[in-house]
Structure 1
Amino acid sequence: MNNKIMKILLTRPKNDSIKTSKTLRKFSLAFEISPLLKIKKHKCDVDYSKFDIIIFSSKNGVRYSDIDNRKIKENVLIFTVGTETTKLLNKKANYKILNVEGNIFKLKNQIRVFLKKGMKILHPTFRNKNTELENFFLKFKCNYTAFKCYNSEMVNVCETNFINFIMQNDQAIIPIYSSLTANAFIKEMKRNNLEAFCTNKKFVVISQKVKKELVKGKLDNIFVAEKPDEKHMIKLIKEKYLEDE
């Protein structure tokens, strides 16, 4: 029998889901946590002092970069993507930060005016290579390095809880904060034959890019936050939650 009470399924990595749940609890919104990603620190060293620009495109890049324990150039330019990334970096130390609201496309538009021939750019991230950014910086004769400081793996941490939630909660909201999480959700949905149980669920996503991933999985009822940050995700979640009260 389906549960008629509207619930929210948080599929972010554990620490992020707990943080989001604290906000939802303030608004008395019912939720369950079932992470679809597992984040692990990747052991690798790099000399930050050699770089002219450092890019943080995610909170995990900040968390696992250990920048607060690294020596950096006095005049280094630090770019962040998103207010949440900026807030977390500000907790580490008092850096001069240039924040970009949006995505990598907007980052490229804003960073180009600061680029000079021979500059070295460091990007703490979850992979060893980013061809898109590498080619972009090569146009300006700059050297880009993707520094893998963490692994982001698709792992259904609480598989039984995940399956039970999808099957038992016909009226549900599922926030999706990244393309990788979207892919993980689709993978688990298909692997466990849960497509029929996702028809009436509402998906609140952080960007059009994430929406495209869900559309590939033939999911409907997808709503995109006005801005790609936690504040606007929570706002949209509340709106969709209250629609069915």
Structure 2
Amino acid sequence: MIWEVAHDFGMERPIRHYERLSDVQASWNKDKLVNMFVARLTTLGPLLARSAIPSSSPVHAGYVEWEVKRGKWSKRWLQLREHSLWISKRDNGKDEALLCSLSNFDAYHFSRPYKSPKPFAFAIKSTDKLSFFENTQDYKHVISCSEKDGKVWMEKILLARLTGGLQSYVLHQERNVLFNPKSYGGQPTVATNSAAALSRAPTSRRPTKPTQPLVTVANSNLFEPGSLLHRHGPTQTLFLKYTIVATSQEP
């Protein structure tokens, strides 16, 4: 399995089958050419396989130690649900706040020793560039707990990122279409057949209707019957109009 080794943060994580290595590399700091990809055997391979994708996102909760800032830890209730991580002081959820969404965050192992109050520590780090964050403290979150609980948290978070939100839709499309061996053998896929079924039926050209006026004028007379202008013909009307205008312009 391919792993991302982020030496600039001292972290590493497994790369899923649907992830592009170029997209992962694009989030690295170009000024520090210390990150790399490595291939290694891991027990997380079957868990993150395409065939093991669950139909719903997993849920998990428990008390952990959360690093508020570097070297300062605080006990918090951490909950995984709805493809996101929520944190609060107590398990009643009254002061609950969104820690991060797993659409652009992932769980990382520490590749070097990290000082923590509990035996096990892991990080929830963004898969985007650090420059995207106005507050750099929101870029990663460090969690500490027992080794037993830590392994469960890592598995749940890694698995939840496979099944949440838009990522779930994309992954299911890749599993059903892109990873279908029949689609690479030159045989027509379901999308090709459906496209042919949606072809437009031939239509005949309708005869062009003659252009009709938008408003029908029943009376061709421009002036009301009985008026002064109606008694004069068109030529006399123009002459009368010219006379009135010429007279009004005299000093």
TM-score, normalised relative to structure 2? 0.25
TM, length-normalised to structure 1 = 0.25
Structure number with higher relative contact order (C-alpha < 8 Å, ≥ 6 residues apart): 1
Higher helix share: 1
